Amino acid sequence: MSAVLTAQGLQKSFGAVRAAADISLTFDPDIVVSLIGANGAGKTTFLNMVTGYLRPDSGQILFGERDIVGLSPRQITKLGISRSFQIPQLFNSLSVRENLLLAESIAATDNPRAATDEALARFELAPYAAQKAGLLPEGIRKLLDVSMALSSRSKLLLLDEPTSGVSADEKFAIMDVVMSAARIAGVTVIFVEHDMDIVARFAGRVVAFYDGSVIADGSPDTVLRAENVRRYVIGEEIPHAAA
Amino acid sequence: MKAAIVAIASLVALTGLALLSPQWLVFMAMLALAKGVVVLGLLVLMRTGLVSFGQGLYFGIGAYAAALLSHHLHVADAAVMLLTGAAAAGLVAALLGLLLAGYRDIFFAMLSLAFSMILYGVLVKSAALGSTDGFNLHARTFFGVALAPGMERRVFLIAGAVCAVVVALLVHRLLGGHWGRLATGVRDNELRVAYLGASPYRVVYVNYLIAGALAGLGGALAALAVGHVDPEMTYWTTSGEFVFIAILGGIQSILAPFMAATIFEALRTIASQYAPNVWQMSLGLAMLAIIMFLPAGLWTLAERRRRSA
């Protein structure tokens, strides 16, 4: 099984802040990976480097076999890496249907209208189809943002905090919809998440970031129990061994 | 289908106007059409969220290109003049657009203004082009058919009407489909457009090109109507007038620019007749009223009526 995405020795600094210090990760197809870590740990920087928004100071990013460092977000999107945003990036003056139709048309889907109807149904957005995106509640905005990212040409879907800003009782429902849509579309999902219940439920593998480095990588069970993850990521007070 | 009916009705009405009305009304209608075409281009550009305060550049290029054909090359065919005006302006827009498409907001507006003022400066200084006085042009044939004296302007109005209807239909088609949504997408959220795999730069560039070519066509039409060109056509107040008309009409419909241009020209004709010293103030008051009561332009009135019907 060849990797979908391979990052080798990624480094990125903003002045004195190290946002990525020698990150090497390999992502296999069809395994849902969650990236966790406190704010500023380097999760979003990693997504931004993969999607071409930031150029790493050094290191290599392979999408399949192809080196994508230096390509623009537009070129990388065309290759099949799509992303959603922590703050949904929508076309506020267009309706939900037009938002999706535009996404599918840009993706050069054979039949954008049919694909739009399908996405509306799959993401349970049909009741909102005629509403302007600017007037939607946050949970629906999140779903629309993901549904636009997941066009026919996506192979890898990166979700930046898909449940942030959404009420606790909506979170699981949103993730259920997103994950089943991704499964049907056959894309590999990597998502950044702060809610450990969501991580435990939906991720097949967890990568924990701290201070620009990966401090744990493995199954949710092992990573979420690891002491440094509990201390640095989850923020538990772990008593020091009694002197 | 509805668009086709409106197009045919407009053509019939304008042809009737051209053949039956007095010369001064024919003249006014031509100027209104010419400006309507320029503002239609501005509307295309405004769909991407950009306002150009320099459409006088292309208006002037279109007019001067048409006039130069007549004056220096002795081409006296109005159809050739119109096409040349649009083509010359489109060509310059294709070049300047490469630079301007990378700018947004006030930077875009000011840079476009700057280019128009450069042309103004050049025209004012060049004696060969008549300096501040400009020069006259004469179109004596249309598609090779000689025009009877006194009939020229009536024929030009019909030609202008055909041009306006054709470009309006094309723009209507363009903005009603994927391209219109894409332009709105660029206005709303460029980041998302790029992350869907499209280029905002390209969208802005193409729309700038369309706006430039349409302003050139409008300039050539205005030159035919007046029979004279001068640097005033590229001056910033001319560009401002186009923005004024665009705001007056609103950007929801392709009919709005023509409606607003007609109202503008009528208002100006009447005001300069009866209140020559305060006509600009009356325009100012009209603009104030529009912005306060109909911020989306006069077209809102038409929309409201349709909704209540």
pLDDT in tens, B22-37: 888 888 899 999 999 9
Q: Where are the beta strands (DSSP E) in chain B?
A: 135-136, 141-142, 145-146, 228-229
Q: Where are the beta strands (DSSP E) in B89-225?
A: 135-136, 141-142, 145-146
Delimit the domains of chain B by residue range. Answer: 2-235
Cβ atoms within 10 Å of A243's Cβ, excluding its own: 3
The pair of three-digit structure tokens given for residue A114, joined into one six-digit string: 């049919």
> Does pLDDT of B233 surpass 50?
yes
**Contact check, Cβ <8 Å, B197/A91:** no
Confidence of residue A243 (pLDDT cuts 50, 70, 90): very low
Q: Report the residue of chain B nearest A85, measured CA to CA.
A: B192
A5 and chain B in contact, CB less than 8 A: no
Q: List Cβ neighbours of A234 (8 Å cut-off, separation of 6 or more).
A: A196, A224
A105 and chain B in contact, CB less than 8 A: yes
Model pLDDT, residue B223:
92
Lowest mean pLDDT among A132-136, A151-155, B178-182, B305-309: B305-309
Give the mean model confidence (pLDDT) for residues A53-79.
91
* 3-state SS record for B116-142: HHHHHHHHHHCHHHCHHHCEECCCCEE
Confidence of residue A240 (pLDDT cuts 50, 70, 90): low
Chain B contact set for A151 (CB, 8 A): 196
What is the distance in angstroms between the Cα of B210 and the nearest Cα belonging to chain A?
21
A&B contacts, CB < 8 Å: 61
Helices (H) and strands (E) in chain B, counts: 13, 4
Mutate to test the interface with A, among B192, B199, B203 (most CBs of A within 10 A): B192
Cβ atoms within 10 Å of B300's Cβ, excluding its own: 17
B5 and chain A in contact, CB less than 8 A: no
The pair of three-digit structure tokens given for residue A156, joined into one six-digit string: 């890898």
Comparing CB atoms, the residue among B192, B197, B199 nearest residue A91 is: B192
| % of residues, chain B, pLDDT over 90 | 47
**Domain assignment of residue A240, yes or no:** no
Mean pLDDT of chain A: 88
Give the mean model confidence (pLDDT) for residues B219-245.
91
First to last CA, chain A: 49
Q: List Cβ neighbours of A169 (8 Å cut-off, separation of 6 or more).
A: none
Model pLDDT, residue B42:
94
Confidence of residue A238 (pLDDT cuts 50, 70, 90): low
Give the mean model confidence (pLDDT) for residues A218-232.
83
| Lookup result for tokens 């535009």 | A102
Q: List Cβ neighbours of B25 (8 Å cut-off, separation of 6 or more).
A: B17
Total domains, chain A? 1
**Contact check, Cβ <8 Å, B185/A91:** yes
CATH number at residue A185: 3.40.50.300
What is the distance in angstroms between the Cα of A188 and the nearest Cα belonging to chain B?
18
pTM of the prediction? 0.89
Radius of gyration of chain A (CA): 18
Mutate to test the interface with A, among B184, B196, B202 (most CBs of A within 10 A): B196
Lowest mean pLDDT among B51-65, B187-201, B240-254: B240-254
**What is the Cα–Cα distance from B244 to B264, expressed in whole angstroms?**
9
Chain A contact set for B190 (CB, 8 A): none
What is the distance in angstroms between the Cα of B72 and the nearest Cα belonging to chain A?
47
Restricting to B residues 194-253, those with a Cβ less than 8 Å away from any Cβ of A are 194-199
Nearest to A149 by CA among A110, A192, A114, A181: A181
A81 and chain B in contact, CB less than 8 A: no
Q: Report the residue of chain B nearest A133, measured CA to CA.
A: B188
Chain B contact set for A104 (CB, 8 A): none
**Domain assignment of residue A176, yes or no:** yes
What is the distance in angstroms between the Cα of A89 and the nearest Cα belonging to chain B?
6
Give the ipTM of the model, two decimals please.
Answer: 0.88
Give the mean model confidence (pLDDT) for residues B35-48.
94
Model pLDDT, residue B16:
82
> Does pLDDT of B87 surpass 70?
yes
Give the mean model confidence (pLDDT) for residues B170-194.
92
> Does pLDDT of A18 surpass 70?
yes
Residue range of the domain that includes A61: 5-234
CA distances (Å), A238 to each of A231, B178, B243, in order? 6, 56, 65
> Does pLDDT of A242 surpass 50?
no
Cβ atoms of B131 and B125 closer than 8 Å? yes
Model pLDDT, residue A241:
53
Model pLDDT, residue A20:
86
Q: Report the residue of chain A nearest B185, measured CA to CA.
A: A91
Q: List Cβ neighbours of A235 (8 Å cut-off, separation of 6 or more).
A: A38
